[in-house]
Structure 1
Amino acid sequence: MNAGVRLHGVRKTYGDGTVALDDVSLSVPPGRFVSLIGPSGCGKSTLLRLVAGLEAQDHGQVSVHGVSPEDACAAKLIGLVPQTPALLPWLDVLRNVTLPRRMNRRAAARRAEIAGVEARAVLQEPDMLSLLARAGLAEAVHRLPSQLSGGMQQRVAIVRAFGLRPDVLLMDEPFSALDEFTREALQEQLLDLWDELQTTVLFVTHSIQEAVRLSDTVVVMAPDPGRVVDVIDIDLPRPRGQQLLEQGRFHAYEDRVRNALRGAWRVPGAA
């Protein structure tokens, strides 16, 4: 079976000479939750944009289910949750989350061919009201985005992405602007949705606790040039509720990621 996401020998350089990514290789099996963490400028968001087909690498290969990101996007294999929700202000919550599905019906046959699933499974309409309820939005389905808090808007954006039933979901620090309490609540709701739908997730974060709590694997990156310096598998039971955050084995993984991040700050070749 093809990896859900695969990068091999990827290099990306911007016009000013900045090497955003240098010889990056990564394989994400289908259904895994993988977080990317590292200092600012290490190429986390660039990597996500390459997988999303928003930018092209200079060297190397990027594939999603064995095809190019462009083909994967055309078949609606990929969902994206950015840092800001980007909801349509004139549509209520229910219409915001159902619009992408209504607009992308023609991609179903190509998606079925790439992902190796039956077309009727791709065409099956998800129960968006149920997904909204699972995300704590049952009472907000007919509200406009302006009537929602920041946390509620981000929940809508997550449900919208899951509503397409993407094979790969890319999330670029979706909780970074939220307070700690709201952030932890959304982490739990995200895990509930992911556990049900088993989408492959690439998740960018600056939070060690968030990375450990959410992930099957944490990929630690370093800057100058952007590169992968460590890959840490998180062997903790699921579901991962609040009680797990107090356990010693959880903190041990936090320490492993923190130590890897300290190493990521060192200049290559320095003593």
Structure 2
Amino acid sequence: MTTSAVRVDAVRKVYGSGPSAMVALDDVELTIEPGKFVSLIGPSGCGKSTLLRLVAGLEPADRGDVRVHGVTPAQACAAKLIGLVPQAPALLPWLTVLQNVSLAGRVNPGAGRRRAAIEDLEERTTGTGPDMRELLRMAGLGEAMDKLPAQLSGGMQQRAAIVRAFGLRPDVLLMDEPFSALDEFTRESLQDQLLDLWDELRTTVLFVTHSVSEAVRMSDTVVVMAPRPGRIVDVIDIDLPRPRNQRLFEAQRFHEYEDLVRTRLHSAWRMTDAA
């Protein structure tokens, strides 16, 4: 039987204690199969980023269980199974783009071995070899490899951060609103390039977003969350053909899924206000 890429079982997370305690997550259940792109969407305070941090092993759950390919998040991190793309690109300013994306592989020489073994492929080059260069070209950074981060736009810096994460070939890639600080045009351009990379590598992705259209466009599954307490209120499978390009925005079925996700979000808010 295939092991789930991510499994969250009856998880509860509380910050603080006593009367001031805040329940960030309550009785959260989620299963993500290998190679799927899953988005978490919901209003601020619904626990999206908290759930991502639990899967990343950055915080423990107070109750319940989190597994990444059958092991704890701490074990998954030690085995280099998890990659993380935060909101800010966090590139080293004194290194070029190529050096930045290659550095992670040099300091994590074990990264990607599990996927390579499973796929019966040779390990990807973790230095400055052709694989990192190829990924940079796929992300539209072929002409920027030798530039410093300060010479790049915010969108280009975030592309480099995404390439850095994919280049390590993690089994699970966690992305915490990576496009939230970007303008709409740049955001859609980066969506294109992220989907190109994902179509090529088929890494399992757990993606946090506030954007309904972004969630529908990118995902195999959209997980709708609600606050007070943070919980999952619906799981919507997105049955749209891939690859997904800009023409998808013109498709009636795309807008039907947008309407469905918005309806579920509004319903969740009404349930919260009535509680």
Q: Indicate the residue corresponding to 1:9 in structure 2.
A: 10
Report if the CA contact (8 A) 1:10-1:57 is conserved.
yes
Report if the CA contact (8 A) 1:33-1:202 is conserved.
yes
Q: Indicate the residue corresponding to 1:124 in structure 2.
A: 124
Q: Indicate the residue corresponding to 1:53 in structure 2.
A: 57
Question: Match for 2:235 among 225, 231, 236?
Answer: 231
- 3-state secondary structure, aligned to 2:13: strand
Q: Indicate the residue corresponding to 1:186 in structure 2.
A: 190
Report if the CA contact (8 A) 1:74-1:107 is conserved.
no
Q: Specify whether residues 119 and 27 from structure 1 end up closer, same or farther in structure 2 by C-alpha distance, changes over 3 A only.
A: closer
With normalisation by structure 1, the TM-score equals 0.94
> What displacement does 1:44 show?
0.1
Q: CA RMSD in A?
A: 1.7
> What displacement does 1:20 show?
0.4
Question: Match for 1:30 among 29, 34, 43?
Answer: 34
> What displacement does 1:121 show?
4.0
Q: Does 1:160 align with 2:161?
A: no
Q: Deviations over 1:76-96 (max 9, x none)?
A: 111100000011111110010
Distance in 2 (CA, whole Å) between partners of 1:44 and 1:212 is: 16
The residue correspondences of 1:117-266 to structure 2 (distance < 5 A) are: 117=117, 121=121, 123-125=123-125, 127-266=131-270
Q: Does 1:42 align with 2:46?
A: yes
Distance in 1 (CA, whole Å) between partners of 2:243 and 2:48 is: 26
**Equivalent residues, number:** 267
Report if the CA contact (8 A) 2:209-2:215 is conserved.
yes
- 3-state secondary structure, aligned to 1:257: helix
Q: Alignment identity in percent?
A: 70
Q: Deviations over 1:97-142 (max 9, x none)?
A: 011111111466xx53xx6935974733260000000000011101
Report if the CA contact (8 A) 2:111-2:168 is conserved.
no
Question: Match for 2:84 among 59, 67, 80?
Answer: 80
Q: Which runs of 5+ in 2 are unaligned?
A: none
Distance in 1 (CA, whole Å) between partners of 2:110 and 2:168 is: 13
